[in-house]
Copies of this chain bind each other. A is one copy, B any other.
């Protein structure tokens, strides 16, 4: 199975990544692409700063991806997570899940996002429009609950 995991500062190209998964294949019937974007929080935010743990980020996302592959009949999986300073409207994370049928692709992508939120070693800090450095974003209980539903 085609599996791509990348941690990078640069923007990504979702269409090109999708093409890499599907090109020349006749067995893929469904691709779910999740893109996470930086919100401006009602105009308050100048940027998000994403810190990560190099080495562990790749390893942990690899373990999450392996779990997804063991739970669903996937034909391709791509996870790209950016770090560094990201402005509102810019993309933070891309998850692609390809399968013969839609249900597996939807569930795997949703599973991956829940686990990325709560298990991947990334931390977000707000930079505000007024020039000050805001707070570290707090982990949400809702994300923990979302992760727990996968058992």
Task: Spell out A's residues near B (CB within 8 Å).
Answer: 13-15, 18, 22-41, 43, 45, 88-89, 100, 102-103, 105-106, 109-110, 113, 146
Which B residue's beta carbon lies closest to that of A24?
B89
Chain B residues near A25 (CB-CB < 8 A)? 89
B26 touches A30 (CB 8 A): no
Other-chain residue from B29, B39, B41 in contact with A39 (beta carbon distance below 8 A): B29
Which B residue's beta carbon lies closest to that of A33?
B33
A75 → chain B closest CB, angstroms? 10
Chain B residues near A27 (CB-CB < 8 A)? 39-40
Question: Are A32 and B33 also in contact (CB < 8 A) when A18-B14, A109-B106 are?
Answer: yes
A32 to B43, CA, bound (A): 23
A18 to B123, CA, bound (A): 27
